[in-house]
Amino acid sequence: MTFSQSLVTSRVQLARPALRAASRNARLEVVSRAHGRFFIGGNWKCNGTVESVQSLIKELNDGSVPDAVDIVVAPTFVHLDMVKRELKGPFQLGAQDCWVGKGGAFTGEVSAEMLHDFGIPWVILGHSERRSLCREDDELVGQKCEYALSQGLKVIGCIGETLEQRESGKMFDVLDSQLRAIVNHTSLSNWDNMVVAYEPVWAIGTGVVASPEQAQEAHAYVRKWIADNVSPEVAASLRLLYGGSVNESNCGTLANLEDVDGFLVGGASLKGSSFINICNAENKHS
Ligand SMILES: O=C(CO)COP(=O)(O)O
């Protein structure tokens, strides 16, 4: 048995009763009352043409989504203006990143105050693609969270381990250090404006979704960590999103998990009908 399998097995007792007990109504009560409204983020990453974005906007505007869900889509900077003008409520907008401090002579960057001024309420920070491809370390992500929050943005803070880290038994250490850097740069009141997305790197864009037990195990760990290191009240109200190969078929099962309060969706958010379906995940029977 590998390390990760043994961890999963040891937590199966935790996850299974939640799954078994998940009659739709019972779960809705638990999730909605315990941790706030379900939250779906669509991270469009570096994708889109004028034409494809226009057709995605149309599909989203024509779709039907529940009132009780917060939905945030994050197009590229280039497409933000068009999406802002054309996408209707209930969709909110997010950026995929922003500069670590006040704007100025930082070629190619977009600052938090610009996003706020432009009417973009949310920003994704610490995505694993930025951590690995743009070499953003935990400390920089913590600083970015601090500055974005100080400028009135709401933050989707991303954390998650690589396969190598998981298999070598370092998963909890990685989550600990990513969370600690964010907590070191935030105050208690900031947590009203934060959600945390657990995105295991091995599940991103691979089609290999975390099993319900793996997702619940990591989310339960994060919630306990926040209870111990921030406050039990923040832990109880914090929305924890799962990200990594979420699609129309697996979202119902994942949405049933006790500590999964929403999703951060990549590939499937680029197809309007799929994303709309995922926005309705809480109503799916699994
Ligand atoms: O990175 C992600 C969302 O931020 C997940 O991407 P995929 O849904 O394409 O795996």
> Is 196 contained in some domain?
yes
Least confident of 31-35, 104-108, 163-167: 31-35
Q: In terms of residue numbers, what domain contains 86?
A: 27-283
pLDDT digits (tens, 9 = 90+) for 187-219: 999 999 999 999 999 999 999 999 999 999 999
pLDDT digits (tens, 9 = 90+) for 252-273: 999 999 999 999 999 999 999 9
> Is 62 contained in some domain?
yes
pLDDT digits (tens, 9 = 90+) for 129-168: 999 999 999 999 999 999 999 999 999 999 999 999 999 9
Q: Is the CB of 266 under 6 A from ligand 1?
A: yes
Ligand 1 centroid – CA 43 distance (Å):
7
> Is 249 contained in some domain?
yes
> Is 269 contained in some domain?
yes
Q: Is the CB of 66 under 6 A from ligand 1?
A: no
Domain count along the chain? 1
Alpha helices (H) in the chain, listed in sequence order:
3-20, 24-35, 50-62, 77-86, 112-117, 128-133, 138-150, 163-167, 171-184, 212-229, 232-237, 251-255, 272-279
> Is 4 contained in some domain?
no
> Is 179 contained in some domain?
yes
In this predicted complex, what is the ipTM?
0.99
> Is 120 contained in some domain?
yes
- pLDDT, residue 12, reads 30
Q: Which of 35, 79, 127, 185 is catalytic?
A: 127
Q: The CATH number of the domain where 190 resides is what?
A: 3.20.20.70
> Is 3 contained in some domain?
no
Average pLDDT, the chain: 90
